[in-house]
Structure 1
Amino acid sequence: MSAVAYKWFTFVVLVLGGGTIFKLSSLKDAFYVPMQEFMGLSNTQIGMALSVYGLVQTIGNFASIYLADRFSKRKMISISLVGIGLTGIYISTFPGYMGILISWALLSFWGEIVYWPVLLKAVRLLGTSEEQGRLFGFLEAGRGIVDTIVAFTALAIFVGLGETAFALRGSILFYSGIVIAVGIVSYFLVEDDKVSQEVLEGKVSQSKVAFDGMLKAIKMPEIWVVSFMIFSVYSVYCGLTYFIPFLKDIYGLPVALVGAYGIINQYGLKMVGGPVGGFLVDKKFHSPIRYTRVALIIAIIYMVIFMMLPHKNFNVYLGMVLTLGYGAIIFTMRAVFFANVDEIDVPRDISGAAMSIACILGYAPQLFCFALYGYLLDSYPGFTGYQFVFSCMIGFSILGVIISTVLLRMVKRRKAMVQ
């Protein structure tokens, strides 16, 4: 097998892992009611499990700054996938409430702390600087495809087995089995990290190399600026969730169309936005930072015009098209925002630490954005509440434009110093 073919075959394996590892932690997406009926969980208990997941993720990502470069990505990826699968097998026994809390804590540990930063590191190391947009874009699109196929297959298993407690166990075991299988395949196809000559000769330990790399990443200001740029984009992305109630409340979106819109909004745009964003970054802008700035400016203009439109005079299908159009812009940025790490010339041996820092700050909006947007809608009923939400999204977009402008200047200054 040629080097190019091997690279893309490895990439497919990474996509399979990225598209399956979070299905168990997102079990509620397809099986919320069955979880209540057959596992005896209340709304509060399911919510608490998700809160535990988020808490472990937030605290644990600080540890991943060190862990992501301390151990081989081949071992980290395969072990975490198998760990997720084994946790899923335990969940299929329908443990008590405490067992559920422990399970979701483990799902967060394996998926968010051990796996995700290392996956991003592995994807970055697969290609050159000229390929980063396409790699991360196709990663997002591929995950969307795998996510959709696996979710619908699990749902088919549940229906085919009679929608009983046994059927739910079957679906959970399917999720568990497929992620374990991908973990085993990953062990044989994902390469080990390259170890420095000093480590090979015993002059320094791998632990010290990882610790020094962590400190190096923490002291690199460009990594933090990139993380805040991701933060701004993700804050806007969180707002896309509220297009569903917006269409329902303002346009009278029929219940029959809610599910279809949700699938297009989450899976369809991901599959389209990834390749489009990657192509634009690599072939047109030759810079993920520059593309992000332009896309954010377009998003600002789009949303300002959108807020001024006479929505009550439009039919629901036009409303769907308008909101999906805005979502498509955001998804092109979301697909490639980790490609920015390469543009700031982060040394490849600290890629894991850099990605971990980006995850800590970049995903931080999920800790407060949903609560903020929900509060605004509850406090200001009707179109006024949505105007406040959309205004916040514009504000985060403006913040992103400012940060990306600062970052471009930092990159230009760094290149000038090198020359």
Structure 2
Amino acid sequence: MSTQDKAKWFKFLILILGGGTIYKLANLKDAFYVPMQEFMGLSHTEIGLLLSANAIIATGLFVVGGVLADRFDTRKLIPLGLLGTGALGLYLATFPPFNSLMIVFCLLAVCADCIYWPALLKAVRGLGDDKEQGRLFGLLEGGRGVIDTLVAFSALGVFIAMGAAEAGLKAAIVFYSVIDIAAGVLTWFLLKGAQPAQATTRKNPAANLMQAVKVPAIWLVSFNVFMVYIVYCGLTYFIPYLKEVYGLPVALVGAYGIINQYMLKILGGPAGGFLADKQFKSPSRYLKWAFLALLPMMAMILLVPKSPGYIYAGMAATLSFAFIVFSMRGVFWAPMGEVGIAAHITGSAFGIGCLIGYAPGMFAYVGYGAILDRFPGPQGYNYVFISMMVLAVIGFVVASRLHRLVRNTAQVAGGEAQAAAG
């Protein structure tokens, strides 16, 4: 491995460190939902309001974040987002009143989703050529899963060590905050070799954004992410499905949840990157056929007999489906490199992509939940899973159009190269 390659992968590891820690505070409910209720005095509705406020602000500011990523050096934006998140966490650990918590969760979205995330995506894209995009984004997703798992379990250990009470929750929040601050400091000092924004910025931010808006390929990539993400949201309901329909024991609920939320993220992202780059030779081509592969997997879930004797078959079928989805999540940003987005509008392109692609987070859970409330029991789950199949078909159509555009772009580029050589 050359010195240049070593430097590239070192920077990549530093980026993964921040990517696996910055969302822990905004998603405090993942590991500490009940402690938030008991020790912060929050109701289900209040926690829901905090999460909704965070999601709305995040979605509204993704495009702004893309503009910032094109205007300023990502080496400055990335640590700024981490340091800001850490500082907000230290204040969160004081257990402020609910109105202040709303402000904190809104500002967490500003730091993580506006300042940090589009800059991270741009930085990752800049680490490799178009042939490496699937691998890089797949490893980013898998690496974030590893860091996410280690940090989450470490915080849980801190909580338990401090007595699993109010002091423990405050200590866990401080732990998350210190990790973010440390990652921000490391990023600032260890990414000094990154290419400055001035080298790629040719126009003012508004012009970059308007140019990006007019590129059809960016919208196709964005809607492709949208289709993957809306199917991904449905994975949440596999756990209650197995518990209610198959009588999954409480002990297995925890084990299944760890595998479904952590192990598959760690394994699926790199697997998707490898398949996209090495086997399919194109992330967009892989995504197209992966959407199609979801259909027989979901048919298998629907056909497994609904009785406790088939619980392991149900678990295997749902985990297999989820694995494919996580492999798709690992590479759904990689087509940004395939479609030839100009370097100076990369941040704006990712901002638009995040705005459209992550939008299902605002309504998909409500939609799926409404179906389950309207049709209790196996019938409701069948309707949800059939809806996911229909969405996968739509995703196949979108990904097919995206892959066709990628092929046309490659053919045009090849023709220009031949003409220049001649």
1:333 aligned partner, one-letter code: M
> Where does structure 2 lack aligned partners over 5 or more consecutive residues?
416-422
SS of aligned partner of 2:247 = coil
Structure 2 vs 1, CA of residues 47 and 306 (structure 1 numbering), >3 Å: closer, same or farther?
A: closer
2:337 corresponding residue in structure 1: 342
CA contact (8 A) 2:83 2:184 kept: yes
Q: Is the aligned partner of 1:182 residue 2:177?
A: no
* 1:21-74 deviations in Å (ceiling 9; x for gaps): 011111111112222222222222211111110111121123223222111101
1:172-251 equivalent positions in 2, closer than 5 A: 172-190=173-191, 191-196=193-198, 208-251=203-246
1:104 aligned partner, one-letter code: F
1:212 aligned partner, one-letter code: A
1:2-151 equivalent positions in 2, closer than 5 A: 2-151=3-152
| TM, length-normalised to structure 2 | 0.94
SS of aligned partner of 1:26 = coil
Return the offset for 1:185: 0.7
Q: Is the aligned partner of 1:308 residue 2:308?
A: no
Return the offset for 1:94: 1.0
CA contact (8 A) 1:70 1:207 kept: no
2:314 corresponding residue in structure 1: 319
1:79 aligned partner, one-letter code: L
2:154 corresponding residue in structure 1: 153
Structure 2 CA distance for aligned equivalents of residues 313 and 254 of structure 1 = 10
* 1:190-240 deviations in Å (ceiling 9; x for gaps): 24444557x9xxxxxx69433222122111001101111111111111111
Structure 2 CA distance for aligned equivalents of residues 134 and 417 of structure 1 = 25
> Where does structure 1 lack aligned partners over 5 or more consecutive residues?
200-205
1:202 corresponding residue in structure 2: none
SS of aligned partner of 1:311 = coil
SS of aligned partner of 1:23 = coil
SS of aligned partner of 2:334 = helix
Aligned residues between the structures: 412
* 1:72-99 deviations in Å (ceiling 9; x for gaps): 1011000110000000000011111111
Structure 2 CA distance for aligned equivalents of residues 214 and 296 of structure 1 = 30
1:389 corresponding residue in structure 2: 384
2:79 aligned partner, one-letter code: S
1:170 aligned partner, one-letter code: A
Return the offset for 1:415: 3.1
Structure 1 CA distance for aligned equivalents of residues 356 and 84 of structure 2 = 26
Structure 1 CA distance for aligned equivalents of residues 308 and 146 of structure 2 = 36
Return the offset for 1:3: 1.4
Structure 1 CA distance for aligned equivalents of residues 326 and 144 of structure 2 = 13
Structure 2 CA distance for aligned equivalents of residues 284 and 207 of structure 1 = 36
CA contact (8 A) 2:70 2:197 kept: no
* 1:101-145 deviations in Å (ceiling 9; x for gaps): 111011111011111111111111111112111111111111111
Structure 1 CA distance for aligned equivalents of residues 81 and 160 of structure 2 = 29
Structure 1 CA distance for aligned equivalents of residues 352 and 290 of structure 2 = 24
What is the alpha-carbon root mean square deviation over aligned residues? 1.6
CA contact (8 A) 1:68 1:117 kept: yes
Q: Is the aligned partner of 1:280 residue 2:269?
A: no
Q: Is the aligned partner of 1:377 residue 2:372?
A: yes
Return the offset for 1:320: 0.9
2:90 aligned partner, one-letter code: I
CA contact (8 A) 2:71 2:197 kept: no
2:418 corresponding residue in structure 1: none
Structure 2 CA distance for aligned equivalents of residues 369 and 118 of structure 1 = 26
Return the offset for 1:384: 1.2
Q: Is the aligned partner of 1:409 residue 2:410?
A: no
Match of 1:290 among 285, 293, 297: 285
CA contact (8 A) 2:247 2:308 kept: no
2:358 corresponding residue in structure 1: 363
Structure 1 CA distance for aligned equivalents of residues 134 and 405 of structure 2 = 20
Moved over 6 A (4+): none
Q: Is the aligned partner of 1:263 residue 2:258?
A: yes
Structure 1 CA distance for aligned equivalents of residues 307 and 175 of structure 2 = 45
SS of aligned partner of 1:20 = coil
* 1:126-177 deviations in Å (ceiling 9; x for gaps): 1111211111111111111111111111111111111222222111111101
Structure 1 CA distance for aligned equivalents of residues 32 and 297 of structure 2 = 36
Q: Structure 1 vs Structure 2: percent identity of aligned residues?
A: 47
Structure 1 CA distance for aligned equivalents of residues 370 and 114 of structure 2 = 30
Structure 1 CA distance for aligned equivalents of residues 171 and 146 of structure 2 = 22
Structure 2 vs 1, CA of residues 128 and 316 (structure 1 numbering), >3 Å: closer, same or farther?
A: same
CA contact (8 A) 1:303 1:390 kept: yes
1:398 aligned partner, one-letter code: V
1:352 corresponding residue in structure 2: 347
Structure 1 CA distance for aligned equivalents of residues 396 and 295 of structure 2 = 10
Task: Answer with 158-167 or 90-99: which moved more.
Answer: 158-167
SS of aligned partner of 1:93 = coil
Structure 2 CA distance for aligned equivalents of residues 300 and 328 of structure 1 = 14
| TM, length-normalised to structure 1 | 0.95
1:376 aligned partner, one-letter code: I
CA contact (8 A) 2:202 2:344 kept: no
2:397 aligned partner, one-letter code: I
Return the offset for 1:314: 4.2
